[in-house]
Structures are given as C-alpha cells and as structure tokens.
Structure 1
Amino acid sequence: MTQQNAIDWPQEYLPGTGDNFVSNEVVVQGVAADRVWRYLTDTSTWESYYDNVADISFPGGDGPVLRDGVHFRFGTFGFPPLDARVVAFQAPADGVPGRLSWTARQDGGPEERLDVLHAWLVEDLSGGRVRVLTQETQIGRPAAELAAQRPNPMLNGHQAWLDGLIRAASA
C-alpha cells in the first residue's frame, strides 16, 4: 500500500472551517515534479497557461519567481488584485514533495473582505508519474457567494489551472 502526502494546514484555514473550500488533483505520466514546479513558481508563465489570472505584480521588487516570504499581487475570479504572501515554500526533491502556499487578502467592509490560503503539493510518484494537488480555503462573504454558485467557479477554475500547468510543463 502507498500513502500519499497531504497539504499541511494552519489551524486558521483548516478545510471545512471557512466559507469556501475546494480540492483539485491530477496524476499524470511523462512529466517530472521539478518541471511542473518551474511553471508553478514562475509567475511570468501563469498567464500563458491559465486565463483566470491577471495583473501579477511584485510591490517589493521581488519576482517573478516565487520563494518563501515573497509578497505579490494578482487578480483572479473577478476580484481586484489580491495582496498575497508566500508562507510555505519547499522545492520537490528525491522522496520529498514540493510544497507551496500563499495567503491572499482583500480588505474592505464585510461585503468585500476576503482571506485565502492557497496550497499546492507537487510530487513524483513511481512509474514516471507526477501528482499535483491544489487546495484552497477562503473566508469571507465573497467566498460564501462563490461557494453557493453552481457549477462552483473555484473548483472549475482550479481544475483549469491544473490542466494548463500540466500542458505547459509537458510541452
């Protein structure tokens, strides 16, 4: 039996405790975790394979490659650019999954306030396979409104991100 790795969740964002939670995963052959990781962490490639992201910027002068502690901004799901900060960063290595997480916030009154943790896990599996898991917890009224929509735009949007990421890394 093989056990798969999981996202490490801070208590504040524990799945099921926020207003919206989604989980998407792909397992494919023919591409390695380090190649997927390059496309995931280099934000200059995001818009080439994912059409639900825009206006990526780095107010502190960092970027475009993410690393621990980097502050960046980006627009997604029709929200004004969110303030984001990388809070977990571990590149994949032999037997060690890659881990990337960022928090993202939108300030404002109760109608606009949004707090997010978006986490990624990228790992090589036996048989030349790679597994990419992405999960997100959102807190706030805009998150609850997204969660109530059918089909769920967050679930479908993250699947599009995964599919595009795999296509880009496989090219």
Structure 2
Amino acid sequence: MNAIIWPEDFVPGFTENFASNEVIVAGLTAQAVWPLLATPELWPTYYANSANPRFYDGKGPELAQDIRFYFETFGFPVEARVTEYVAPTAGEAGRVAWHGWAGEENTPERLDVHHAWLVEDLPGGRVRILTQETQRGKPAEALAATTPNPMINGHQAWLEGLVAAARAR
C-alpha cells in the first residue's frame, strides 16, 4: 500500500504531535470519495469540526496544487496552502496535503501542521483512506498531552463522516 510523503520539517517522530487514522471499506471507490475530500465547502456537511472554508484569489471550489485556503477546526483559524495534489486515477492513489498554520510566527501561540490524505482503491472493491498529520509548536504539545488525543478522535470522525457521505451519494 502507498504511504504519505513527508516534508523534512514534518517527519513523524520529530514533531510535537502526530495523528494517524485509516479506514478500509468495501463498496466504495476512490472516485466516489475524492470530490468530498477535494471540496472544502463540503467538509462541514459531513464533519462537524470543520467550519467556514474559503479560498483566496478567486480560486476553488476544489483544492489544487499551491492553492491557498482557510478553514476553522479544533478551535483554530487555519490558513493553509496545498503542497501536494494528485487526483486518483485507475491504478494511482489520490494524494492531497497542505501546510496549515495558526497564530503569528515566532510566538508561543503558533501552530504549524502538515496534513496529508491518501485515497486508494484496493482489490475486492475496497477503498483505503489514510489521513495523517504532524504538528509543530506549543499548541501541538498541549494537544499531544491530552488523553484521548483530540486529533485522533477528530480525524476518525472526519473519516467516518467522509465514508458516510460517499455512501449517501
């Protein structure tokens, strides 16, 4: 199976927080899931922890390489830039990742994240959806010290909502 491609400053194990969530389900395809993931304005319809998505410079409504966008999650206003975007095709996994940040640079409130998704078809009519996120900064330390880790629970809810929304289409 495929794996996330990590930028050097965000390799898991070398950041303050890391979350990894994955589902493998039958009866869906990467093509059925992808539009729901690639369109931030749809996120709040199936993931309650996402709000107010918007794009800059007249871009959107779908994510694309290097596009800047904004959304709110986990109480953070997140500015983001897409760093990887490859839509799924026959035999090729879909990949989307963004660098997100909240707070002013060089302050204790600053949070930087690399959030990556992988969506791939598997044999037997199954789809695998993997989402992983690494985080840097004091807010990431606080999240990592919380039990249960809110990132793990939040991303699991995102996955479950994504699957339910794809099944409902």
Shorter-chain TM-score bucket reads: over 0.9
Letter in 1 for 2:95: R
Which structure 2 residues correspond to residues 48-127 of structure 1 after superposition, within 5 A? 48-79=45-76, 81-108=77-104, 110-127=107-124
Quote the RMSD (CA, aligned, Å).
Answer: 0.9
Whether the 8 Å contact between 1:97 and 1:122 is mirrored in structure 2 is: yes
Per the alignment, in what secondary structure is the counterpart of residue 89 of structure 1? strand
What is the aligned partner in structure 2 of residue 141 from structure 1? 138
Secondary structure of the 2:109 match is: coil
| Conserved 8 A contact 1:110-1:140 | no
Identity of aligned residues (%): 54
Shift of 1:40: 0.3
Q: Quote how far apart the aligned CAs of 1:107 are.
A: 2.9
Instruction: Please give the TM-score of this superposition, normalised by the length of structure 1.
Output: 0.95
Q: Distance in 1 between matches of 2:60 and 2:50?
A: 16
Figure out how many residues of one structure are paired with residues of the other and give that number: 167
**Contiguous gaps of at least 5 residues in structure 2:** none
Is the partner of 2:63 in helix, strand or coil? coil
* Structure 1: segments with no counterpart, 5+ residues: none
Q: Tell me which of 38, 42, 47 is aligned to 1:41.
A: 38
Q: Note the alpha carbon deviations across 1:12-54, whole angstroms, 9 max, x for none.
A: 1101111100100000000110111110001121100000011
Could you state the TM-score of these two structures normalised by the residue count of structure 2?
0.96
